[in-house]
Structure 1
Amino acid sequence: MTARPDRLYDLLPVVYRMRDAEQGYPLRDFLRVLSSQADVLEQDIARLYDNWFIETCDDWVVPYLGDLLGYTLLPEAATLGEDGRRDASLGRVLAPRADVANTIDARRRKGTLSLLEDLSRDAAGWPARAVEFYRRLGWMQHLDHPHPQRGGTADLRDPGRLQRLGWANGAFDPFAHSVDLRRMGSRHRHGRHNISAVGVFACRLRSYPVNCTPAYCIEERGPQCFSFSVLGNDTPLFQRPVAETEPTHIADERNLPLPLRRWRFAERGPLADYASVSAELYGDGRSVQVWAPDWPAKGQGVPVPRDALIPADLSGWRGQVPRGRVALDPERGRLMFPANQRPKRGVWVSYQYGFAADLGGGEYARVTPELEGATRYVVHATLPGRAASGNWPAGHFGSIADALTAWVQAKATTPALRALVIELAESGVYEGSIDLQLDAGEAIQLRAAERTRPVLRLLDVRASQPDALSVSGRAGSRVLLDGLLVVGRGIEVHGPGDEAATDDDLCELLIRHCTLVPGWALHCDCDPKRPGEPSITLDGTRAALRVEHSILGAIAVISPERRGEPPPLELCDSILDATGMERVALGAPDEAVAYVEASFRRCTVIGEVQAHGIALAEDSIFASPLRVLRRQQGCVRFCYVAHGSRTPRRFHCQPDLALAAVAAADRAHERLRVMPQFRSRRYGTPHYLRLADGCCVEIRSGASDRSAMGVYHDLYEPQREANLAARLAEYVPAGTDAGILFAN
């Protein structure tokens, strides 16, 4: 239907419309059909016109426009189709719109250093710093043309310059070096300091914001000790990148998503001491800000003034903080107040943290489907300038429990209500026990507001009962969780019981863009506090569990007595972390295997998987054995499967292909070579479960589309790196040896 279905009919003379009305409007109905087809034709003509321009064309047109300009495509780009989400996302990497749009401008600037940084941003999506290594060579300068700004010998009395020597992989190294004869583009090991060498230091980690969230009090160290992370773990603070204003400007520290250094974070006084923090990094809209209501005196501390902060090394929580000052460690994400002047009303912080992708709960843009005809309630958290209050407008509440109570009352008044959306408005902490009991056909969505990261803290308040987020429902009911960070306990889904009908059960639990902290909580070093506890327990239920773009701990399945066919369990673009290779990531506490039909697509699994069946496992990493009871059905394709696994039929899996290509005597060594190597295996670190650069190519580019296996598959890092290497070879001056280095 169109906005004006009778626009052709209105063009007819009145006499024909009068005659048509006398006969029951057959001509009007016929022209309505013609009008709908005319609308389709007009939309197609408008789309064809938009496809003439790189700014408005469809994704599949971008390679064709680039071909008109002589834009060099990678070979994989020729195999892409027009349909399919994954093909479209890969196409945007192989033929980036910004890179094609800037092709002519890049050719005009060919041979300039700043162009290499733009190529990294446009072709690979990585902010970068370009360095001419011949400027770092130690050689005698001409007396008539001195360059005092170039590198010299190291001054051991200047710790700030010494810290930059290896920081960010040497991207900001200020010293002179001897000649390195290895080539910059060598596939074995990059050589750096040579006359022809040019390096592009790319930043693959992103800087994500967290706005006005409570800091965590480290009570075992003292009530004056706080962590920026609401989980209590150490986290390096990153800086909010500042956009470059000039196209010829070479990026420095403030322009890249890099972790903060204590030396740069400090503003030094006349005695070269750590007087306060830098005005460039602290304050509203900057990298860090702290609120401490009524500290040090009533009416102060919202926010804490910049001159009250002292950059410090709080690695051991040692030192004495002067009254009226706050010590801040940006490299560990710690705060320390004076022991005799503690904040009584809590501490709130805003900061940036580093991570590789839009995964788990976070303040990034995400698409959240709406429930049709749903009632919407908004729940607020306590903020530093707003105390908890009971005077909320209609539809607004101070806790999730109050919103659920209001929903029960609304259903009693209007029985036709069947859908509820509870939106958590701020990136604060929402505490209390939650028990969701759904009626038949009811749907409840607990979601984060746009660009927020609410924390759902489940407290251990009942000694005789578990305090998990409890979910149960009847036939056709659904629970949806979107954009949450759940800490303290897990989620328990309960079935209808032995005496109830098996079909009178919760239909589906859908988890999207959430983090269910593996191990429930973290120590300061990111070790889990309860490593053996599951994040999700399916207790006697046949509900379908679907997880998308999330991080969660182990899944425990307790099957009902009357089973039937195994219920589906699907994980997509997610991390399933049992916090240890020897632990069980998916299993049953009272049986050999979990009675589910599991599916894994682009997932990284730490821990054993013990399932009744596997419908499909694709582009995933199973770091521990995968054991399946029903092997006649299902398929495992383009996955890494650990030694000792029992699976359905495999297709192009590792290390099977690598072992088949070598002699029997070399298979033990080959099995050790073809193993996933992670930068970090602890949740809470910036490189959480990212493949190391030294990991074998069979895993780093072993997925079905030659991307990396595992949860970071959709980053398409091998394709981005190949695309950037091709652009560098095209635009650097003749005789220059250019290479890609990674700053983080």
Structure 2
Amino acid sequence: MSDRLYDLLPAALRRRDLEAGGVLRALLDAFTGQADLVDAELARMGEDWFIETCQEWLVPYLGDLLGVRGLHPVQGVPGTAGRAWVANTLGFRRRKGTLAMLEQLSRDTTGWPAKAVEFFELLSATQNLNHLRLHRPATADLRRGEALELVDGPFDTFAHTVDVRRIGAGGRHNIPNVGLYLWPVSSYWLPKATAFALADPGTYAVDPLGADRPLFMPPRPETDIEHFAAEENVPGLLRRRPLFAELEALRAGAPPGTFFGDRPVFRVHRAEAPGDPLSEVDPVDVQVCDLTVWRRPTVAGRVAVDPVLGRVALPDGDVPDRLAVSHAYGGVADVGAGSYSRRGDLGPVLDRPVTWQLAVSVSEPPVPGEVVADVAAAVAEWNDYQDAHPGTVGLITILDSHRYAADLTASARPRVGAGARLSIVAASWPVIPDASGPPGSTVRPLGRIEPSGLRPCLTGRIEVLGTAAEDEEPGEFCLDGLLVDGDVRVVGAAPANLGALRLRHTGVVPGKGGVQVNSANPRLSVELYRCLSGPVKLPATVTSLEITESVVQQETARAIDAPEAAVSVVACTILGQTVAKELYASDCLFTQKVKIERTQSGCVRFSHVPPASLTPRRHRCQPDLALEAGGAPDAQIIARVTPAFVAEDFGHFGYAQLTPGTAPELSTGADDGTEMGVFGVVHRPQRLANLTGALDEYLPFGLAAAPLPVSPASRSEK
């Protein structure tokens, strides 16, 4: 009870009111509640004058007062949110037309790193004697090897002849042109990831699958608003020459520079014997070189690293127990196994209280009942525990980015009983002080995990067996955040019974594995969410398959083989044939024929479906719409709207990404105007439209600007 108004009365009145039973006090208490509401409303009205504190519904009204143009909202891009865009408007207008402002505008509207370039500064032209530009000679100096690597890219410093084509349509170097280079490929930092040991002892591939993959620059933030982006501020490919030069200077006694200062672009770690902790190799002992043809360092203790191929070599006879590399790799979006954060995306893992948990790590010492050294041991403990405790909700957390030999077959396979759930997740399991224990004691709370910064690789087949009886509620099995170099299978003879198989943010390497159900499991539902996977094969007894924002690849056979299943495919890229009983598909790219048995139910909408496919009714699909519009021979139209990809090699940074110049029927053909397929989650067309729309207001008269997305595979990034 509040006496705020009652205390304002004279003491004599309050005394008489108390003698009369407090009627006046009760009345003023009712008034006090309304007064509090008025006070709160007045305080909120004061906050509503400012864009930082106003209510959400007022943001467009404040923006309208400033004449702010709306942007397409893009999830994960704060600059496209109404509040941030309105708040930055005055700052943009005060700096209108400056190159630094255009660079900042590009970053805010697209969410991608950006570099603005005035092309007239790079024109080869006769110079006035009163304004000599000695830094811009008309002819190229062929002795500047590092500068030659950057020709025709965002960091080009050589002069060029005039290009009369319009910017955005191939043109670059002309007086009115301003190029806004953008980096759509992101750089993901992966600390202390175990390298792949090749057949020749002492040689390694940084990629956990043993392929040659380039290392990326982990971008450094720009602290000054007037700062122009440099090579270290964008997620480009690492180059050998500047890294070699800096390490040579470091060995000569120079202070650390751009690439190996407080945040090295990569680090090498080694453990000499089993159980030893990883120790970092001093940068002065790292030698950057070209390992296209394998060469060994001749100086003891040296480590040779090729950042372009992602290769590492040690001197002859030097073979540590474990070699790890902290590095950045490239990717288009948060799809598949990756070191990105999945903190808000663990619903199917943590929607029930965890009752049993165990960690797997080669970096931490084993602790009974808490940490074990390999996945098979963790699964064995799970099997024993859930046999004795039916209905257990279990969680196995893998704490480091190591290559684990995890052939979970036969007696080593995980068993999931009635009402139980087992999830194997890439995540850290934090240690916190134990408030209920003695001083200094710690505990790892069940279910409290941090799913980011890790990408463990499991090599071998993973088989799961459901052991629930026919009249019991079947259990569930989930993989989250893992790279699986093998098969994921549901096995067991009748009456094997598993209720759900869920793969989330997981990569199952095509060509080596896929998702397969080898037993009846009539109540099983299979779900893939944001996965990169090999083929999915289901028996006739499994009737439910859901694939969302994923890639499924098997180009020489059926990518989806579910002859009796009702299949839901949303925002996916299917590299191979699709066979199912029923199909609901939206915003998808099917690259090979689709054959659906029951065409009177289901729907395919806003998708690419190859000709001669047998599907349920289609709505705004390609090439159907393009053929209806005509304008060219059918074969030519079909070829124009057939999807082509930057790479179809699993693990490549451009895997399953549509090539630049893809027909707009595909690049903007999804339901919400983004591209069809898995990378519609990036909302690339909306980001570019935000930038081009904003340029009309902020570009000075007489200048022309256009976004220029940078492909890491271009010459400028090699």
TM bucket normalised to smaller: 0.7 to 0.9
C-alpha deviation, 1:213, in angstroms: 1.3
In structure 1, C-alpha distance between the alignment counterparts of 2:40 and 2:489, rounded to whole Å: 49
C-alpha deviation, 1:611, in angstroms: 0.8
Which of 528, 532, 538 is equivalent to 1:557?
538
Counterpart of 2:459? 458
What SS does the corresponding residue of 1:351 show, helix, strand or coil? strand
What SS does the corresponding residue of 2:678 show, helix, strand or coil? coil
| CA 1:660–1:209: 2 relative to 1, 3 Å | same
C-alpha deviation, 1:416, in angstroms: 5.9
What SS does the corresponding residue of 1:66 show, helix, strand or coil? helix
| CA 1:469–1:264: 2 relative to 1, 3 Å | farther
| CA 1:707–1:65: 2 relative to 1, 3 Å | farther
Counterpart of 1:541? 521
Are residue 236 (structure 1) and residue 219 (structure 2) matched? Answer: no
Tell me how large the CA RMSD over aligned residues is.
Answer: 3.6
Which letter maps to 1:214?
Answer: T
Counterpart of 1:359? 335
The 8 Å contact of residues 127 and 256 in structure 1, kept in 2 or not, is answered as yes
Counterpart of 1:20? none
Are residue 621 (structure 1) and residue 589 (structure 2) matched? Answer: yes
- Alpha-carbon displacement from aligned partner over 1:411-432 (angstroms, at most 9, x marks no partner): 466x365211111122223333
Counterpart of 1:443? 421
Query: Which residues in structure 2 correspond to 1:133-282 (within 5 Å)?
Result: 133-150=119-136, 152-166=138-152, 170-185=153-168, 189-219=169-199, 222-267=200-245, 279-282=257-260
The 8 Å contact of residues 484 and 507 in structure 2, kept in 1 or not, is answered as yes
Are residue 306 (structure 1) and residue 283 (structure 2) matched? Answer: yes
Runs of 4+ deviating beyond 6 Å = 37-52, 57-60, 90-93, 269-278, 298-301
Are residue 328 (structure 1) and residue 302 (structure 2) matched? Answer: no
The 8 Å contact of residues 266 and 275 in structure 1, kept in 2 or not, is answered as no
Are residue 343 (structure 1) and residue 343 (structure 2) matched? Answer: no
C-alpha deviation, 1:559, in angstroms: 2.7
In structure 2, C-alpha distance between the alignment counterparts of 1:378 and 1:304, rounded to whole Å: 31
| CA 1:274–1:196: 2 relative to 1, 3 Å | farther
Of 322-331 and 251-260, more deviation after overlay is shown by 322-331
Of 267-276 and 136-145, more deviation after overlay is shown by 267-276
The 8 Å contact of residues 269 and 275 in structure 1, kept in 2 or not, is answered as no
C-alpha deviation, 1:598, in angstroms: 0.4
The 8 Å contact of residues 274 and 310 in structure 1, kept in 2 or not, is answered as no
Counterpart of 2:599? 631
Query: Which residues in structure 2 correspond to 1:654-733 (within 5 Å)?
Result: 654-662=622-630, 666-733=633-700
| CA 1:7–1:586: 2 relative to 1, 3 Å | farther
- Alpha-carbon displacement from aligned partner over 1:415-474 (angstroms, at most 9, x marks no partner): 365211111122223333331211111111211212133424233xxxxxxx43334242
C-alpha deviation, 1:402, in angstroms: 3.0
TM-score using structure 2 length: 0.83
In structure 2, C-alpha distance between the alignment counterparts of 1:210 and 1:7, rounded to whole Å: 56
The 8 Å contact of residues 296 and 314 in structure 2, kept in 1 or not, is answered as no
Which letter maps to 1:121?
Answer: R
In structure 2, C-alpha distance between the alignment counterparts of 1:419 and 1:47, rounded to whole Å: 45
What SS does the corresponding residue of 2:537 show, helix, strand or coil? strand
In structure 1, C-alpha distance between the alignment counterparts of 2:156 and 2:654, rounded to whole Å: 23
In structure 2, C-alpha distance between the alignment counterparts of 1:271 and 1:290, rounded to whole Å: 19
Are residue 483 (structure 1) and residue 467 (structure 2) matched? Answer: no
C-alpha deviation, 1:674, in angstroms: 1.0
The 8 Å contact of residues 729 and 738 in structure 1, kept in 2 or not, is answered as no
In structure 1, C-alpha distance between the alignment counterparts of 2:396 and 2:237, rounded to whole Å: 35
Which letter maps to 1:552?
Answer: S
The 8 Å contact of residues 468 and 492 in structure 1, kept in 2 or not, is answered as yes
Which letter maps to 2:371?
Answer: H
C-alpha deviation, 1:284, in angstroms: 6.7
Query: Which residues in structure 2 correspond to 1:61-76 (within 5 Å)?
Result: 62-73=59-70
C-alpha deviation, 1:56, in angstroms: 5.7
Which letter maps to 2:302?
Answer: R
- Alpha-carbon displacement from aligned partner over 1:9-64 (angstroms, at most 9, x marks no partner): xx9x9xxxxxxxxxxxxx9xxx9xxx9x9999999999998776544667776544
Which letter maps to 2:372?
Answer: F
In structure 2, C-alpha distance between the alignment counterparts of 1:173 and 1:57, rounded to whole Å: 45
| CA 1:57–1:358: 2 relative to 1, 3 Å | farther
In structure 1, C-alpha distance between the alignment counterparts of 2:502 and 2:281, rounded to whole Å: 40
Which of 599, 602, 608 is equivalent to 2:568?
599
C-alpha deviation, 1:107, in angstroms: 0.3
Counterpart of 1:585? 559
C-alpha deviation, 1:617, in angstroms: 0.2
C-alpha deviation, 1:631, in angstroms: 0.5
C-alpha deviation, 1:728, in angstroms: 1.7
| CA 1:515–1:88: 2 relative to 1, 3 Å | same
- Alpha-carbon displacement from aligned partner over 1:291-346 (angstroms, at most 9, x marks no partner): 12349xx99982111111111111232466443322111111111112x2322312
The 8 Å contact of residues 244 and 255 in structure 1, kept in 2 or not, is answered as yes
| CA 1:424–1:61: 2 relative to 1, 3 Å | farther
Structure 1 unmatched runs, 5+: 1-5, 14-26, 78-86, 460-466, 521-532, 561-565, 588-592
In structure 1, C-alpha distance between the alignment counterparts of 2:98 and 2:424, rounded to whole Å: 51
Percent identity, aligned pairs only, is: 34
What SS does the corresponding residue of 1:149 show, helix, strand or coil? coil
C-alpha deviation, 1:646, in angstroms: 0.5
Are residue 403 (structure 1) and residue 378 (structure 2) matched? Answer: yes
In structure 2, C-alpha distance between the alignment counterparts of 1:94 and 1:656, rounded to whole Å: 34
In structure 1, C-alpha distance between the alignment counterparts of 2:181 and 2:698, rounded to whole Å: 17
In structure 1, C-alpha distance between the alignment counterparts of 2:401 and 2:162, rounded to whole Å: 51
- Alpha-carbon displacement from aligned partner over 1:480-538 (angstroms, at most 9, x marks no partner): 22111111x211112551xx3xxx72111121111111122xxxxxxxxxxxx534335
The 8 Å contact of residues 235 and 333 in structure 1, kept in 2 or not, is answered as yes
What SS does the corresponding residue of 1:724 show, helix, strand or coil? helix
Counterpart of 1:24? none
In structure 1, C-alpha distance between the alignment counterparts of 2:462 and 2:630, rounded to whole Å: 50
Which letter maps to 2:130?
Answer: D
| CA 1:155–1:59: 2 relative to 1, 3 Å | farther
In structure 2, C-alpha distance between the alignment counterparts of 1:45 and 1:611, rounded to whole Å: 61
In structure 1, C-alpha distance between the alignment counterparts of 2:38 and 2:611, rounded to whole Å: 58
C-alpha deviation, 1:266, in angstroms: 1.5
The 8 Å contact of residues 133 and 197 in structure 1, kept in 2 or not, is answered as yes
In structure 1, C-alpha distance between the alignment counterparts of 2:208 and 2:255, rounded to whole Å: 22
Counterpart of 1:22? none
| CA 1:60–1:326: 2 relative to 1, 3 Å | farther
In structure 2, C-alpha distance between the alignment counterparts of 1:624 and 1:60, rounded to whole Å: 46
Structure 2 unmatched runs, 5+: 7-13, 15-25, 428-450, 712-718
Which of 394, 410, 419 is equivalent to 1:420?
394
C-alpha deviation, 1:714, in angstroms: 1.9
What SS does the corresponding residue of 2:597 show, helix, strand or coil? strand
